[in-house]
Amino acid sequence: MADERSGFDAVVEGPKPSYQGELSPVQVQSPGEVHESVEALRDLFGEAVLRHDVVANGQHIVFVPPERNLEILTWLRDDPEQQYDLLRDVTAVDYGGGQPLQVVYQLFSFFHKNALCVKCELPLDDLEIESVVSLWKAANWLEREVYDLFGITFKNHPDLRRILMPPDYAEGHPLRKDFPLRGRFSRAEQTRRALSQDLDHYYFDAEIERGGEPQELPPVAKTGEEAPE
């Protein structure tokens, strides 16, 4: 008998794990090439270097305890032999299946021309870690994005609030693996909430005072015609 399910049936059912066995999120290579920063971290911090992986074209990843992230990252930035002066990115990864969320720091040293990835794993019942805005100002909006989309709290962040979703968004954190494809609310509830939003959420005071009139664009000139003044 032919399958009568439509393409939307799978969307309604929501995401399903692609693999039921033990998850292995990345293909880890044997660390063949020595990374000077990794060796220096081991010499200075010892057991705080929880793991060292090499993935994707020789990218070196160091796992450190989340409660020591600020201490270790400060050393990586300030030590003359390291000087990781550029924070390329702060992001997070959720592999699902109840696994810890990973906070990811992508670092680069202009002086030594070295790249290093530092990761901290956070258990699902304790999604907090120290902010690194005091080290790199670029972390400000990056940490806000991780907070917004993954629900990770960055302690001592100067202005931790949502940056992509509305401030009163109540459906959770959209990049978590347990987030339904259509959101947590029904379509009717989502529509009701959208229609009941305060104008202050989306418009400046000056725009509201103008009566919310839509801005009109000048007509587009056809080929061979002069554009209107």
pLDDT of residue 31: 54
Grade residue 185 by pLDDT with cuts at 50, 70 and 90: confident
pLDDT of residue 205: 73
CB 151 within 8 Å of CB 94? no
CB 133 within 8 Å of CB 155? no
Q: How open is the CA angle 152-158-159, to the nearest 5 degrees?
A: 70
pLDDT of residue 197: 74
Among 15, 143, 115, 140, smallest CA distance to 55 is for 115
Q: Domain 25-163: which CATH class?
A: alpha beta
Q: What is the mean pLDDT of the chain?
A: 84
How many whole angstroms separate alpha carbon 23 and alpha carbon 25?
A: 6
pLDDT single digits (tens) 2-11: 556 665 566 6
pLDDT single digits (tens) 193-207: 777 777 666 666 776
In the predicted model, is pLDDT for residue 13 greater than 70? no
Average pLDDT over residues 104-116: 96
In the predicted model, is pLDDT for residue 227 greater than 70? no
140 vs 218: which has the higher pLDDT: 140
In the predicted model, is pLDDT for residue 224 greater than 70? no
Domain ranges of the chain: 25-163
In the predicted model, is pLDDT for residue 171 greater than 80? yes
In the predicted model, is pLDDT for residue 167 greater than 60? yes
197: how many CB neighbours lie within 10 A of its CB? 11
109: how many CB neighbours lie within 10 A of its CB? 18
Average pLDDT over residues 25-33: 55
pLDDT single digits (tens) 72-83: 999 999 999 999
What does pTM read for this prediction?
0.74
How many whole angstroms separate alpha carbon 36 and alpha carbon 40?
A: 6
3-state DSSP assignment of residue 187: helix
